[in-house]
Structure 1
Amino acid sequence: MSRLKRVLIILTTVVVVIGLALGGGALYLYSDADVSTVGTEFRTELAVPPPAKSTVTPNGTRRFELTMQAGQKEFRAGKQTPTWGFNGDFLGPTLRAKRGEKIEVKIKNTLGEASTVHWHGMHLPAKMDGGPHQMVAPGGTFSPRWTVNQPAATLWYHPHPHGTTERHVQRGLAGMFLLDDEKSARLALPRKYGVDDLPVIVQDVRFNGAKFDHGHQILRDTGFLGDRTMVNGTLDPYKLVGDELLRLRLLNASTARIYDFGFSDDRRFALIGTDGGLLEQPTGTDRIQLSPGERAEIVVRMKPGERTVLRSFPHSGYGDGWQGRFGGGDDSFDVLQLRAAKALRPSPQLPGELGTLEVPDGSDSVGERFFGLVTTGINGKKMKMDRIDETVVRGTAETWTVRNEHGTPHNFHVHDVQFRVLEVDGEEPPPELRGAKDTVFVPPFKTVKLAMRFEGPADPETPYMYHCHLLYHEDLGMMGQFVVVEKGRQAGKVRTPHSHSGH
């Protein structure tokens, strides 16, 4: 009995020691998991992506050229980081076109592997969408063509190769695509590109020596989360402001991080636009949350000589405390400092009315569909390139119900269309979700209802995508495909994906 007693005492001691060690380790990981760059010293003037050069052909087509290329960039003094970019070492130029224009973009791939260029938020034929079915082989070219037929908006472009989208975007392949129209041109809004109308491409990064560290951290299932941010490829950036009103076109180009943007002094600003264009009226607020892929246009008023910092604050919407801590919800970032000149050019007051939304309100929906989101797939199915998951009829509107069915944050992006958020968990959406959207955040165990219309053109064999835009989730297979068909027709067989070597 005494021997048994000694064995029990030893076993109990071992269990207690292991438990204390595990508990202490968990406590250390939890306490060390949040990130803050509040108090950053802003040393570098913000770079502004150059406007893309274009030519107009005799038939009136505006033609751009984009080259995917490898390079190096000195983000930090004396340290060259290997990168990818469009027409340069990192990110790409800002493309710009007007509603009604015919567009052609000649894409050349000089990388060592195939990639794509997807026009995020653009309404265009499926064959031109730049999804995983329109790969561009190394050394190859692809020239998508379409006519711009949607309102003025802040869109963007980025790669979309199935299974490797996260890595391609992390390396630097992204850029903005701005659309203009006659209605917005008549509005008294800041519009001097790079001066009082500023692209703000926000990415989170981490460095391992001179190189980017793109690894996923332990205890996180959202994907990559960096420990600092940069804007337009600039670390610790500041912007000199010379006007009373400054328009910021915010783009969350991170692959997994969700930002809750506001200012360090909690000043209010005007939200004037969402993913698909201008709101009907400006909305005053002090916070705007953007998940990966989402955009927002805001206007902030500056006073002579003052400084303020665009900051991402800790926020809810991650589910339980574990997800909030390890998924990034507890993190804080000083993103961009604004430095007003001692004398500012006067700006006109913002208009009270901005326009009319061109997205359906759900009253003419001819059908409903349900999409259940989990990291392993959508509606219990993992993405398959040769499977068409949904078939929609050209010219019809539908209501899609999207539910996050587990505890990990997700969002939902639909190619080709802009939609209206009808409900969030059965309630009217908040003001920041009442504009035209193509990407919407869906917190754990929450449900959103979306109204959208499918204008085509019909193509029963070439699909568009819908997917989670936390790109690690997309790469795991959290994506589906739909085709647009004429009434009475059925989906065809998906054409075998191929890489464009010339087009």
Structure 2
Amino acid sequence: MDNITEPAGSNDTTGDTGTTGRRGKREHSKTSRAKGGKGLHRRKFLGGTVGLGLAAVGAAGTTFTLLSKGGDKASAASSTSTLTIPDLLEGTTSDSTTTFTLEAKTGTSEVVSGVSSTTMGYNQSYLGPTMKWTNGNTVLLNITNSLGEDTTVHFHGAHVPAKMDGGPQVAFADGETWSPTFEVKDEAKTLWYHPHALGTTAKQAVHGLAGMIIVEDSTDTSSALPSDYGVDDIPIILQCLASDSSGDIKYDLSGYLGSGLVYPVLCNGTNVDDTTLTFEATKTRNRFRILNASPSDIITVQRSDGGTMSQIASDQGYLAEPVDVTSVRLVAGARAEVVMDLSDDVTLQAVVTTGWVRGGSGTYDFLTVTASGTDTPDDLPSTLQTIDRYDTSDFTARTITLGQSGATMLINGSAGTSMSSMAMISTTVGSKEIWTIKNNTQLEHSFHLHDVPYQLISINGEDPTGVELGWYDTYEVVGGGSIEIAMEFTDFSDDTYMYMLHCHLLQHEDEGMMASLMVTDS
């Protein structure tokens, strides 16, 4: 398989995703409706029935053809089911420290409807509970590994010491318990947790090791912002996976190129290919925290009626002000928060665009929200937080290149399949930097930075607008494109433990598109 590369067509960002004319640029604040088939569920790809797609020339010069994104659309949902709300994990507080207990374990679950799959989860068979952290508090997590193989737990988007970040340096074996502890320095935002060991991240995450983290602070006290978990503050974990008909979940290149595959879409662990989930909104205003926990596919969320939502947060917390949007486009690993004031029922749709070798593509209904609230909420605040845009004129500049050699993925020319082989970026506490992330392949990639949030300075040569002016930790870098990002390294230094920077298409990460970041004292 080493001579297989991926097609330029796999980074398709047109069609049902509501993008602008500039290549790959998201249109979060677009007011016209993103196109999509109302009431249709996602396309399934059956290995023997899909025609050959475009040929592509990879970075190493190899050429191949790939199955296209055609195929039969499934019919409208044949059933409904109530949305499952992940349990809220209760911590125990003693001496100003709140302790949470997690166990990474194996189990079985229905990923393909009617078929039992071998899965993984935290404290359960699939996915994990939601944790709530409070800014300024200290947390301790006792995490036991019962998987039968090494794992880590990375707190995606959290600003924590490198030794507590859950990167590959702190992998722990089956039967062991890892107990990171730290002060919560993050402001209000939606984070998530998932594995991050070398070479097994995709395998463990697609089998179900993922959960949401809600960070609260004093800004959440506004009565205008819903905050009652499971009542008007709703977690939405979306996944687009790959499986064969027997329920064997695929996670690497050889698995994705197998025959007879289907591409189930899940919401909070429930397959929604043939089922539209329902949620009864007992309050007029509802907040949805949306996480794309897919290994690679891009998911755009929109209303089936073309109506607007108010986006209030991106990856790294509140926007400066609410922004009316008709769609929210999330690359794998990204998050967003939206609120809707509902007087009528509304159905949310997901538009899936394959972001890797091959995968799902299509539009489907995944959640019908039944409006039953009779209260009148306060007006949304006109200002959510102050975001001072960086003046980067005196920032330290770096260029990070995303590349490939056959099926091996590279950052700055190195394949990060081991700690010793990774390219390493060195910086110091207090450093302010601007990085140009260049995608030197024709493949879809993204860029995730551990430790600190970043601002988008440019996207494919154009200035960010609307929600793109918020804070991020994961953002799309289209084939042949580039983004400029700016950040400031604060608080934490270490001369042994490193943070990671990588593509968050998990297969690409496992194939080497990962580098290390050492932050030391000035």
Per mean C-alpha deviation after superposition, the further-off stretch among 102-111 and 31-40 is 31-40
Residue 308 in 1 paired to residue 347 in 2? yes
Aligned to 2:415: 382
User: What are the residue-to-residue correspondences of 1:115-134 with 2, within 5 Å?
Assistant: 115-134=151-170
> Deviation per CA, 1:237-260, whole angstroms, max 9, x where unpaired?
222222222211000000010012
CA shift in 2, pair 1:391/1:113, >3 Å: same
What is the CA–CA distance in structure 2 between the aligned matches of 1:35 and 1:67, rounded to whole Å? 40
Aligned to 2:431: 396
In the alignment, structure 1 residue 368 sits paired with structure 2 residue 397: yes
**Which structure carries more relative contact order (alpha carbon 8 Å, separation 6+)?**
2
Alignment match, 1:279: 319
Q: Is the 8 A contact 2:242 2:256 kept in 1?
A: no
C-alpha separation in 1, matches of 2:263 and 2:335: 22
- The residue that corresponds to 2:482 in the other structure is 447
Q: Is the 8 A contact 2:161 2:182 kept in 1?
A: yes
Could you tell which deviates more after superposition, 35-44 or 343-352?
35-44
> 3-state DSSP class of the match of 2:362?
coil
Q: Contact 1:37–1:334 at 8 Å: present in 2 too?
A: no
Partner SS for 2:508: helix
Secondary structure of the residue that 2:205 maps to in structure 1? Answer: helix
Displacement of 1:27 in angstroms is 6.8
Q: Is the 8 A contact 2:297 2:353 kept in 1?
A: no
Q: CA RMSD in A?
A: 2.6
Describe the shift of the 1:42–1:371 C-alpha distance in structure 2 as closer, same or farther (beyond 3 A). Answer: farther
Cα deviation, 1:458-496, whole Å, max 9, x if unaligned, reads 112211000000000000000000101112xxxxxxxxx
User: Partner residue of 1:288?
Assistant: 328
Query: Where does residue 92 of structure 2 map in the other structure?
Result: 55
Q: In 2, distance between residues paired with 1:114 and 1:458?
A: 26
Tell me which residue corresponds to 1:100.
136
Shift of 1:191: 1.1
Structure 1 residue corresponding to 2:381, chosen from 346, 351, 354? 351
Q: 1:447 to 1:38 in 2, by over 3 A?
A: farther
More helix per residue:
1
1:454 & 1:365 partners in 2: Cα distance?
15
What residue is the counterpart of 2:126 in the other structure? Answer: 90
Residue identity in the other structure for 1:366: F
Query: CA 1:125–1:41 in structure 2 vs 1: closer, same or farther (change >3 Å)?
Result: same
Shift of 1:189: 0.6
Structure 1 residue 195: Cα displacement: 1.3
Offset at residue 361 of structure 1 (A) = 1.2
Kept in 2, the 8 Å contact 1:38–1:334? The answer is: no
Aligned position for 2:371: 340
CA contact (8 A) 1:258 1:328 kept: no
**2:43 corresponds to which residue?**
none
Same amino acid, percent of matched pairs = 33
Structure 2 CA distance for aligned equivalents of residues 330 and 86 of structure 1: 29
Is contact 1:37–1:332 with CA below 8 Å preserved after alignment? no
> In terms of mean alpha carbon deviation, does 30-39 or 197-206 score higher?
30-39
Deviates more, 1:362-371 or 1:287-296: 362-371
Could you tell me how far apart the structure 2 residues matched to 1:142 and 1:209 are?
36
Unaligned runs of 5+ in 1: 1-23, 488-503
Taking structure 1 as the reference length, the TM-score comes to: 0.83
2:444 and 2:477 in contact (8 A); partners too: yes
How far apart in 1 are the matches of 2:94 and 2:462? 50
Distance (whole Å) between structure 2 residues aligned to residue 152 and residue 35 of structure 1: 42
C-alpha distance in 1 between matches for 2:318 and 2:369: 24
- SS at 1:243 equivalent: coil
Task: Judge conservation of contact 2:298–2:353 (CA < 8 Å) in 1.
Answer: no
Is there any run of 5+ residues in structure 2 with no aligned partner, and where?
1-49, 55-65
Whole-angstrom CA distance in 2 between matches of 1:482 and 1:75: 36
SS in 2 for 1:472: helix
Q: TM-score, normalised by structure 2?
A: 0.80
Q: Quote the offset at 1:186 in angstroms.
A: 2.9
Q: Deviations over 1:17-58 (max 9, x none)?
A: xxxxxxx95379866635755733442211111111101112
Q: Does 1:114 align with 2:150?
A: yes
Q: Which structure has the larger Rg over C-alpha atoms? A: 1
